[in-house]
Amino acid sequence: MVLKNRNSIELGIINFVSSFMKEKVGRGPKDVKVVMIDNVLTVFIRGLLSPLEKNLVQSEEGEKTVYEGRRLYLKLSNTERIKGFEKIVGKKVIEHYEGINIKFDTAVATIVFDQPIL
């Protein structure tokens, strides 16, 4: 399912991220934004924590627990997630970085492809 134009790639990534998180975590994010420049794709995610996680982060120990759980989720789903991005964009991922801010209920991913995206 290689998508060719900017809008279709952005929509494909937004739909993929939302459905992937819903399948793996039980609920999708509230908002996903995509920025593409040359061979770099950046995904901004807001509203990713579940109601349970939001309650847990009220304590320092809970915040650490949620962070470690999300970090482990990223590690375990890495291969499947990267393949999804490659399928949508039609290019090979050569680097990727993920970050999560539990306090602000946000995350960001930067994916670098072997060729320009468009």
Per-residue pLDDT tens over the stretch 11-33: 999 999 999 999 998 899 999 99
How far apart are the C-alpha atoms of 16 and 20, rounded to whole Å? 6
The three-class DSSP label of residue 37 is: strand
> Which pLDDT belongs to residue 4?
78
Mean pLDDT, all residues of the chain: 95
Does 1 reside within a domain? no
Q: Is the pLDDT of residue 48 over 80?
A: yes
CA 108 from centre of chain: 7
Structural domain count of the chain: 1
Does 67 reside within a domain? yes
Does 118 reside within a domain? no
Q: Is the pLDDT of residue 111 over 90?
A: yes
CATH of the domain at 86: 3.30.980
**Residue 3 pLDDT grade (very low, low, confident, very high; cuts 50, 70, 90):** low
Residue 81 domain boundaries: 6-113
Instruction: Check: CB of residue 74 under 8 Å from CB of residue 66.
Output: no
